[in-house]
Structure 1
Amino acid sequence: MAVRFQTDGMSPRLFARQSDWWNCALIALMIIGLGGCRWMRNLVPGNRARESQIAADDLSRSKRGDGTANFASMHSDNPDTYVRSAEQAMQRQQFDEAAQHVARALELNPNSSAAWALKGQLEEHSGQDAEAISAYHRAVSCDVQNSEAALRLAAIQIDHGRAARSAPVLREVILCPLSTEEQKSRAQWLLGVAYVRTARWKQAIPALDAGARTRDMSSDDWYLVAMARFRAGDFNGARRDIERQLALHPGHNGFASLLADLNYTEANRGEILPATNFEVPEESPAISAPPVLP
């Protein structure tokens, strides 16, 4: 908006006053114009309702979790964003969406240890243990300090009869300075189970004892400990564990059988029965892996 006003014959002071007046007038017109635009827009039928509906849709999407994908799409070059989005989707048990985020993260960064670990969990959830082992291997190779991936890898290896391979992995978790105390305790327990599977009884006992300190022990867990003590020749320790658990779980056939074998062994001067009664079952609750994203 151009404004012309007469300046001939004016004193400098009068000219300055007139300039100030016109400037104030222009600012006032602009403010009125902007307010009028907003006022007119609110008069248009449906505008307020449309804005309210958009806000409601945004809130609904955030409650359903659809905002995760939108958030990731706004950061399409950042693999860590897709990893976080995948974790959130897995917590909501939206595994298909999580798989999409993981795939995108690995496209952007094929060496993302966190993404490979999540892929392992997804494969494990779908029952594809071979693919899960491969993914956890990649996660650990990309970051040797990814203790959670190492623990999950070791648990699957033990369940699939590869206990000897899991022992070095678990020892690394125990020695890793970034492992939490909870992770170290889980590693100790799994290491003890691996030693049981490979009949390294004397090495199994201290590992199982260390893991049992912070583990919510079941009767099957205590049976594993008592069996390891018995096989290692710690008859007093085995009897203590067996009798304590029989008092708590009198219907547990494993403890009753183990106690009978212990009595026979002591009566026959340490002649331990063949190990057929002490095989650890392939699917043992004592060896179960942690749940997906606890």
Structure 2
Amino acid sequence: MVLSSQNAGLISVMCESVLVGAYGVLTGLVIWVLLAQRRTMPRMHRLLFSASVMMFAISATHLGLVMQARTLVGRKAPLANAQSQIILSMVQFVIGDLILVWRVWVIWGRNYWVPAVPLAIMISAAACTINIAFGSNVRKFFTVAPVVLIVANTSLCTILIAGRIWYMRYHLKKITEKAGISNIASGSKGALAFVIESGALYALCQLISLILDRTKSVGLTIILNLEIPLIGILPTLIIVLVHFDQLPGTRTAKDYVISRSLHFNRPESDATSETITANMRYSLHDDRDSRLV
């Protein structure tokens, strides 16, 4: 049975509604954390949580616009509706990409040069999207140029985050093995947390949309509408896991910096396994202000 474009539109509305509902629950948790820890929460965390709440508002507004367009049976949606959907999508992508770029910056030791390329690609994609929103091609919601830029950006961020974490773990393992320590770098919370942190799911969504467009599949409508809440949910999961110190890259980065400092700044005879272990555990015990700010 071939899925018609009308049925695909209805399915996309239902699926987006489910994801927005799930995002609403996650946003409730975010607001609770904000209210409960507003005095002790680092400034960067407050900013990130506020961005997450804003992304939920964008997702809910986009769902309302999609539902309005679907109720106009036999008629085209107003031009303002199409423009609003594109602009909201652009803002959602920009916020989500900024969170990924921020993670790149943190994982790479706050080096401003490393996230410069992803930031430039993100700005280029946003500019292309704005041009579409106010151009003659406004009703064509999927345009290859900005999507290719978004795929390139998310893929690059994923490679930079995942590659840096692997690099730090590899060198941390060598340092700790030389010092006779085992399992110092075993703070990983699982493969799923690593996939979320690296932005791999975010990049995969964009790649799927490109494939569906090339195959002229009606499923493109579904994935495009699903992307709006997903682009909010995935960065929000990063923010929440960051706040509760549940991402493997955070612990790996701190272990790596501490172990390198001890390895290069202390005589080898003094860098005993007990000393390194004690210093690393002490430094990681209560470090809220330096946790990814």
Asked if TM exceeds 0.5, the reply is: no
Structure exhibiting the larger radius of gyration computed from Cα positions: 1
TM-score calculated relative to the size of structure 1: 0.29
- The structure, 1 or 2, with the larger RCO (C-alpha pairs under 8 Å, 6+ apart) is 2
TM-score norm. by structure 2 comes to 0.29
